[in-house]
């Protein structure tokens, strides 16, 4: 049986990005706090988690930069 898949495009309203920016700043602060608590950890898990936090922080900063340009 063939199944038809529908793809819905989401078009967020980016006219007022203040709420989104506020949420991103909150997430950045939380991630940076978690990263700082983990620094100095010597286990492989801590190092892997630190890298994950760094990547998450980087992604949110990039999004904030793109929102500021628009």
Residue ranges per structural domain of the chain: 18-69
- Measuring CA to CA, which residue among 9, 13, 20, 19 is closest to residue 60? 20
Q: What is the pLDDT of residues 23-53, one digit of tens each?
A: 999 999 999 999 988 887 667 778 888 999 9
Residues 6+ apart with CB under 8 A from 27: 56, 60
Model pLDDT, residue 47 = 84
**Backbone angles phi and psi of 19, in degrees to 5:** -65, -45
What pLDDT is stored for residue 46 in this prediction?
Answer: 83
Tell me if 63 sits within 8 A of 24, measured CB to CB.
Answer: yes
Question: Which residues are within 8 A (CB) of 60 and not within 5 positions of it... i.e. 6 or more apart?
Answer: 24, 27, 28, 31
- pLDDT band of 9, cuts 50, 70, 90: low
């Amino acid at each position: 049986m063939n199944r038809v898949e529908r793809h819905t495009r989401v078009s967020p309203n980016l006219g007022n990005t203040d709420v989104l920016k506020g949420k991103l700043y909150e997430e950045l602060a939380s991630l940076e706090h978690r990263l700082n608590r983990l620094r100095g950890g010597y286990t492989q898990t801590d190092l892997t988690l630190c890298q994950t936090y760094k990547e998450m922080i980087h992604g949110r900063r990039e999004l904030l930069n793109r929102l500021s340009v628009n």
